[in-house]
Structure 1
Amino acid sequence: MAASSPLFYLLPGLGADERVFQNLQPLLQGTAHVLPWLTPTTGETLPRYVARMAEGVDPTQPCILVGVSFGGLVALEMRRIRPLARVVLISSIPDASCLPPLLRLIRNTGIYKLFPPQWLKLLPRAGQWYFGVKNGREYELFKQILRDMEPVYTRWAIDQLLRWDSTDTGGQSLQILGTQDRVFPPGPTPVDYLIPGGGHFMVLSHAPEISRVLNTLAEEPSSQAASRLPISDGSTTGQSR
């Protein structure tokens, strides 16, 4: 991929859409396409769903798949069938072993199956705390995203996240986490880039820091995809995996 013309594909988080990239997308030095979520068909498997999503990704062009939260999981799965892609995880996890204790408990008890996704729309303040959403414009956008969530997709995606088998996802990825992320908090596994003060919604709140990592990655040869990326102002720190 030419350094002067990087190609990004952006996958939003579970239930979100292109609005979460409104601060990040203008800062990316290249072409950036948001891949909208599709409505899953009855009984659709994750590999089949990912294959349909991948129809929006040019298989002949090197690119960077940027996945936020559940979008990171889909990006990792998509790399199986788009081997020219490099994966960057924002507020996401590189494999199922990194699922935090709270989500493991929810998975093991199956309690998530008892509550319809529409209930999330009734608890915006709880969601604000859990996702680290700031008051003001961010919170208003968060409420709009909750309001617009499609229940069939949301229930399916939650189930896929909690039952994900992450074996053989095709190589290394670069992980960007926020130090204040309550959904996928930094744990004992080293993280490539930690964004100070970033919560789970940091793709919106910390877009400048994230864009610097992505733009630097886009300038590197594919063979250096997993290496640390220097950030000149020191606002982002990282650990190599």
Structure 2
Amino acid sequence: MFYLIPGLGADERVFQRLQPLLHGETELLPWLPPESDNETLPHYAARMAAGIPLAATGLLVGVSFGGVVGLEINRLRPGLRTVLVSSVPDADSLPPLLRLVRATGIYKLFPPQWLKLFPRAGQWYFGVKGGAEYRLFKRILRDMEPRYTRWAIACLLHWDSTQVGRSIQILGTRDRVFPPGPTPVEYLIKGGGHFMVLSHAEEIAQILNGLTAEGEEVMRK
């Protein structure tokens, strides 16, 4: 089973190329509205995990912020393996730019919906290609819910990843949001940007299908 968690402010549309390539059942975990601006990430993850059986096995695939939530869900569903796509394995792996944003608190001054006014800047930062990818990106920006986005950004920047479980990281070499750093990455996708769940869906699917096959082989033994 593949449990899929999209990135911050995104939805099932980001998996439209990847999902058909996966060898097995898939279940999308849609975002829930935060109960309040102060809802903790562990509490939120527990609500997200409510529909996942306690003994569930398979892959929990989280894109960007979805990977962070996936790691929190994994604390509650240890039978799953978390795979991070364009995401980070712990809070210490946040890049310098996001650390600066956190330290200055500048993210509190600019409403997330401002990004809707500058889609070309977002296209560059997230590594979105032109054509259909850019049109989808603009639709996702248009549908972004400001309250949820503000809450999610704060959770990401102040994430307590103490004793977070192990994960498998798939990162693009051209990811500007979470660029590769000194920490080893299990799978580096050449030329992949932050939106590579779309642009490099075939390569990601090959990795995920391989991980599933490995897991099934271990279970048989």
2:80 aligned with 1:85, yes or no?
Answer: yes
Identity of aligned residues (%): 71
Match of 1:193 among 184, 187, 194: 187
Give 2:121's aligned residue.
126
2:46 aligned with 1:64, yes or no?
Answer: no
Query: What residue ranges of structure 1 are gaps of 5+ in the alignment?
Result: 1-6, 225-241
Contact 2:56–2:77 (CA<8 Å) still a contact in 1? no
Q: Which SS does the other structure have where 2:120 is aligned?
A: helix
Give 2:163's aligned residue.
168
TM-score, normalisation: structure 1: 0.88
The alpha carbon displacement at 1:169 in A equals 1.4
CA displacement, residues 164-191 of structure 1 (integer Å, 9 cap, x when unaligned): 0111112x21000000000000011111
Query: Number of residue pairs matched?
Result: 217
Match of 1:184 among 172, 175, 178: 178
The alpha carbon displacement at 1:61 in A equals 2.2
2:13 aligned with 1:11, yes or no?
Answer: no
Q: Which residue identity does 2:110 align to in structure 1? A: F
Contact 1:86–1:222 (CA<8 Å) still a contact in 2? no
Give 1:238's aligned residue.
none
The alpha carbon displacement at 1:58 in A equals 2.0
Q: Which residue identity does 1:200 align to in structure 2? A: H
Query: Comparing both structures, which one devotes a greater share of its residues to helix?
Result: 2
Q: Which SS does the other structure have where 2:179 is aligned?
A: coil
Q: Report the Cα distance in structure 1 between the residues aligned to 2:81 and 2:40, rounded to whole angstroms.
A: 23
Q: Report the Cα distance in structure 2 between the residues aligned to 1:21 and 1:66, rounded to whole angstroms.
A: 11
The alpha carbon displacement at 1:222 in A equals 7.4
TM-score, normalisation: structure 2: 0.96
Q: Which residue identity does 2:39 align to in structure 1? A: E
The alpha carbon displacement at 1:60 in A equals 2.2
The alpha carbon displacement at 1:118 in A equals 1.1
Query: What residue ranges of structure 2 are gaps of 5+ in the alignment?
Result: none
Alpha-carbon RMSD? 1.2
**Residue correspondence of structure 1 range 1-241 to structure 2 within 5 A:** 7-42=1-36, 43-170=38-165, 172-221=166-215
- Superposed structure 1 runs of 4+ greater than 2 Å apart: 221-224
Q: Which SS does the other structure have where 1:86 is aligned?
A: strand
Contact 1:96–1:166 (CA<8 Å) still a contact in 2? yes
